[in-house]
Amino acid sequence: MFLIGSDHLPLETTIETNSLSKESITTFEDLPNELLYEIFDYLIDYHAFQAFCYLNNRFQNLFLHSNFPIKINIREISKSEFEYYLTHIIKPCTKRIKLFRVSNPCIDPCLLLFSLMKHLTQLTALVLNKIEANYIEPIVDHLSSLPVLSSLTIISINNLIKKNNIYSKLLRLSKLKYCDIIIKLLQCPKSLLVATNEFSTIEYLIIDNEISIDQLTIILSYVPQLRHLSIGNLTESKHDQIEKDAVNLNHLKSASLKLICVPFNQFETLMINYFRQIQVLSIATPFPRFNPDINEYINADRWQQLISTHLLNLRIFDLQYASRGLDPYNKHQAFETLIDKFNSKFWIEHQWFFNWHYHQLTWSDAIIFYSRNPFRKKDYVLYDQLSKNIWSGRFPIYEDSTNHICIHTTDMIKQSIDKFPNATKLTFCKYFEVPRDFNVVDLNHIFPLQKITRLSIKCHRFFFEKLIRLLQFTSNVHTLKLDSILLFRNNSNSIQQNPLTQLVSKTNMITKVTIKTTNETNSSSKEPITTFEDLSNELFYEIFDCLIDYHAFEAFYHLNHRFQNLFLHSNLPTKINVSEISISKLEYYSTHIIEPCTHRIKSFRLSNPCIDPCLLLFPITKYLTQLTTLILNKIEANHIEPIINRLSSLPALSSLTIISINKLVDKNNIYYKLFRLSKLKYCQISIESLQCPKSLLDSTNEFSTIEYLVINNEISIDQLITILSHVPQLRRLSIGNLTKSKYNRKEEDEINLNHLTNVSLKLERVFFDEFENLMVNYFRQVQVLSIETQLYDFTPDVNEYINADRWERLISTHLLNLRIFDLKYSSRGLDPYDEHKEFETLIDKFNSKFWIEHQWFFNWHFHKRSWYDATIFYSRNPYRRKDNISYDQLGENIWSDGWDINEDPIDHIFIHGTDMIEQSKDKFPNATKLTFCEYFEVPRDFIIVDLNDIFPLKKITKLFIQCSRFSFEKLIELLQFTSNVHTLEFDSIICHRNHFNLIQQNPLTQLVSKTNMITKVTIKKNITLEKIQLLTGVFPRMENLTINLLRQDLEPIAQFLLSKPNNNTRFLSSLCISKQLNDLMIIMKNLIETKKLLHDYILKVINRKLYLWW
């Protein structure tokens, strides 16, 4: 296909041509190293490592001598395999271990870990499961030597004998963010904890061993940063009254408590004193008898009083109450009278609904009262007497949905069809009666059996033959628990010879089996895997599930027919990514992968301006029944409305991203059509010139289901308010270009945004008065607020954004729930002599008591530029900021380690100067993007090796060099440490001393050429043929190239890039010339046709840029 387009030509001409066939990959040896590294990075346990290490020396070297972090998992593994694992993998790779998991009670964890401890410098997560309790204290004593340990799980297999203060030692670990412990008989004596005034950094705390309320309150006094708390066995306080310590748990938003015979009075006091600010509360309380003292947990009036008076932020309430010994004749009516009060107006307004079930057991009767589909409940129980509305599909895709189904009887199973799409665990409970006509095929139509990974059969009468039939549909099960092996008619030999049994034997992925009536098992040694063909199908399915783009699919699909069948005939969801891919590959991709797998596509991403998205999507739209995520990036604006008109036919679409590459011409009401999509939860748009006329939206009373809304195109405040009136479920809002209102609004709309907690606004010349009105009228309930405003003068009208008194008044009066405040103010034209003092006087007020108590701190920087002076005032390490700027004059505290692993960490570092770089060592462990800014001066003694010691360069995937004096030689030095970079943007190619040929012949350049993974390159300034030749030699895997050039350089550069054969450009399929001159497209077209450089290509101009795709 050939398209001609220009800013000066209103029409486009289409010419179809034929595609070129290319040789396909036929053996595993043809796979590139970068793909193998991706596979290694996905693997976690010994068997997967062994599968690759045994292949040949090449794969051993790829794994052992790479720089990527590794995850060690020691579970079900033989002693000989463990010794090999320790010698050949763990010890040589100790410095690269990121996660270490031991789950074998026969292994001495002290003997294993102590010899490695000093070398585990990258270990962030340690999981010790099923370990003997006597090992716990020695291990905990050594954990302080792990410099980056942020996640710890300890689960003992027996009782702790010594009553040493384990809690105190855990709370002193300086980097710990996540802590999960189950240590039987662990105690928390108050005397040992109060000896220290230190506070823990823990934010996620899970304690599943028994702990009393008074012990819990002691621990809470040392975790001020706590966000999520889960207690699996909370007992009553040993004292009559619970004393309230001076504890501020301002960050705690989620609490899950399982109460063991705790009186409601004690529980209520605990909630009022410590948990007033929570948003999510999950309570489970089993009682042995039904009596007036304990039925307060199903007293609706008392719950209503507690919530409406003290738990004002609560939005998710999950209650499970169980009691035995209820007389169905004498006490049933009293029970029903209590629970009927949960149908009052209070509970309906909050949309908290409940169900109950009376269950007759052999030894006693049990009654269960529980929340019906609470927002985050993960287990589900199927009983006979539950009404149909228990199956209502109220689980949003962005929260934890039901993943465990416990089946007691068969009557309600058929009513649950399609209600549990995310279930991964299935249990047939103890008293489940298997009817003779019980058909497993019918069960497969009701539950997503192919997603089940854990199967537990507790009932006695589930025959082994029936289990075999079930396993043919549960091919992903890896853990199986049985009560017993019961044969109905056949003996064991006849069962084994059955064709269905033989099929299940070959296809099942079960690695862990537990049988209650059988204690002994036999083990047999297995021969090591020596070829790729010996790898199991289940391992391939795991690899396929990890892959996302065309190149990975292609690598496996072309190996042989076995891999084609494994991919095409599996049931796993497919992710499609069409970005930097040639025309011929797209045609092959569409024919052999997209079209055959349309019904399994879960995510579809298109990011190529030369592809017509309508032509690609419309023929398959009606088959995209599983599509939940659609991303359209860099598309022409004229395609947007036809696509949106078709989106209503996608039944499962919940996430939509649309980013245009040029202006929208037709002013149709795109917003209105987006809001009518019934399943949409996440919406991100950046459509230039998109408008929101109030009249078109006001014509409907419909409301959108959108919960996450991101608008990065220009939108005025009055247009935003119109949109807000149609998204009552909104939780997070981000506006990338908010301008002042176009019309004066006299009346404020009645908009209830009760769920909105996060707001991010980038303001463009909006006066503070109008911004303040917006906050007061619509955003009073926000908890996280991020404001960025850029102003072009320093005047009294605009400096209100750095008026601390006004901010304090706004926050303390109207934004009472605000806990994270992120402000970035920048102003041009500040006179350093006349206005500097006025500026400093304003910002000094941000050091008052109000700001210190909230722990909101700020910095400022004055930056002198060639054409203007700029002043920036900004929050210092706000809790969720992802970008960080390195300036010369910033104080040390800008580098304070305020970022936790469970929130959005800093992933983008901007470097303006060198003075502060050394002070930032180990402060940005999660950075993936690095930018050397425009005015960064590269000193002569600037050593890249030193930079590698400060920043995690091996994690960088996107590198931007905006400064003009960064030489190409220095870039080569940098790239030897940034082996995972795939996107590179730089200002220009500058060679200080060496000729281009000498640079290419340099051993370091040749090494970087072989090892780098760069596929996308952008150069801003004009480039010559000589520089292009250097570029392609250093980056031979380049697929997408964006350049700027002079007219006289177009022909030699184009002929070089498109000529065949050229080994350095064999992957290149897309070229963009960023500044299109009037006749460049004509010259390019004539050159291609005259020289016959390409047979199948698209050439078009969009937004004054020339795009060539072939």
pLDDT band at 982 (very low <50, low <70, confident <90, very high): very high
> Worst-scoring range by mean pLDDT, 111-125, 139-153, 790-804, 929-943?
790-804
Residue 887's pLDDT is 40
Split at pLDDT 50, 70, 90, the class of 334 is: confident
Instruction: Please name the residues in contact with 866: beta carbons below 8 A apart, sequence gap of 6 or more.
Output: none
Judged by average pLDDT, the poorest of 366-370, 557-561, 974-978 is: 557-561
Indicate if the pLDDT at residue 890 is higher than 70.
no
Structure tokens at 642: 């036809």
Q: Is the pLDDT of residue 395 over 70?
A: no
For 951-968, how does the pLDDT look when each residue is reduced to its tens digit (9 = 90+)? Answer: 888 889 999 999 888 889
Give the separation between CA 987 and CA 1014, rounded to whole angstroms: 17
The count of other CB atoms within 10 Å of the CB of residue 713 is 18
| Burial (CB count <10 Å: 0-12, 13-18, 19+), residue 717 | buried
Higher pLDDT, 57 or 405: 405
Sequence spans of domains, the chain: 93-187, 378-528
> What are the two backbone dihedrals, phi and then psi, of residue 635, each rounded to the nearest 5 degrees?
-105, 155
3-state SS, residue 984: strand
Asked whether the predicted pLDDT for residue 2 surpasses 70, the reply is no
pLDDT > 80? residue 667? no
Contacts of residue 446, defined as CB under 8 A and 6 or more positions apart, other chains included, come to 413, 414, 416, 417, 418
Give me the pLDDT at residue 175, please: 92
Q: What is the 3-state secondary structure (H, E, C) of 227-261?
A: CEEEEEEEECCCCCCCCCCCCCCCCCCEEEEEEEC
- CB proximity list for 999: less than 8 A, separation 6 or greater: 968, 969, 972, 991, 1005, 1030
Q: In 744-827, which residue ranges form alpha helices assigned H by DSSP?
A: 768-778, 804-814
Q: What are the two backbone dihedrals, phi and then psi, of residue 840, each rounded to the nearest 5 degrees?
A: -65, -35
Distance, in Å, from the CA atom of 608 to the CA atom of 581, rounded to the nearest integer, reads 9
Distance separating alpha carbons of residues 1085 and 1069, to the nearest angstrom: 16
φ/ψ of 421, rounded to 5, equals: -70, -20
Residue pLDDT, tens place only, 527-573: 444 556 666 665 666 666 666 566 667 777 777 777 777 777 766 77
Map 401-429 to HEC letters. CCCEEEECCCCCCHHHCCCCCCCCEEEEC
Tally of helices (H runs) and strands (E runs) in the chain: 37, 44
Compute the distance between CA of residue 590 and CA of residue 315 in angstroms, rounded to an integer. 45
Q: What is the pLDDT of residue 40?
A: 66
pLDDT at 383 over 70: no
Tens digit of pLDDT for each residue in 147-201?
999 999 999 998 887 766 788 889 889 999 999 999 887 877 665 444 456 789 9
pLDDT at 9 over 50: no
The rounded mean pLDDT for the chain is: 79
> Is a pLDDT exceeding 50 seen at residue 490?
yes
pLDDT, average across residues 215-223 = 90
Interval 208-216 mean pLDDT? 90
User: 806: which 2 tokens?
Assistant: 């006004």
**Cα torsion for 304, 305, 311, 316, to the nearest 10°?**
-10
Does residue 746 carry a pLDDT above 70?
no
Output the six-digit token pair for 784. Answer: 């996280």
| Closest to 646 in 3D by CA, of 614, 606, 680, 611 | 614
- Kindly tell me if the per-residue pLDDT of 88 is higher than 90: no
pLDDT per position as a tens digit, 751-768: 889 999 999 999 998 989
Q: Would you state the pLDDT for residue 654?
A: 95
In angstroms, the CA 98 to CA 69 distance is 6
DSSP character string of 296-353: GGG-HHHHHHHHHHH-TT--EEEEEEEEE---TTTTHHHHHHHHHGGGSHHHHHTT--
Which tens digits make up the pLDDT trace of 1029-1084? 999 999 999 999 999 998 899 999 999 999 887 888 999 999 999 876 668 889 99
Other CB atoms closer than 10 Å to residue 760's CB: what's the count? 17
Q: Pick the residue with more confidence: 76 or 220?
A: 220
Q: What is the pLDDT of residues 710-724, one digit of tens each?
A: 999 999 999 999 999
Closest C-alpha to 434, from 408, 453, 456, 455: 408
695 band by pLDDT with thresholds 50, 70 and 90: low
Q: What percent of the chain has pLDDT over 70?
A: 75
Which pTM value belongs to this model? Answer: 0.57
Between residues 124 and 55, the one the model is more confident about: 124
511 has pLDDT over 60: yes
pLDDT at 473 over 60: yes
- Give me the pLDDT at residue 694, please: 64
Model pLDDT, residue 997: 77
Predicted confidence (pLDDT) at residue 894 exceeds the cutoff of 70: no
User: Using CA of residue 105, residue 107, residue 111, residue 117, what is the dihedral sign?
Assistant: negative
Q: What DSSP character marks residue 469?
A: H
What's the rounded Cα separation, in Å, for the pair 1004 and 1000? Answer: 9
* pLDDT tens profile 227-277: 999 999 999 887 655 566 557 888 999 999 999 888 899 999 999 999 999
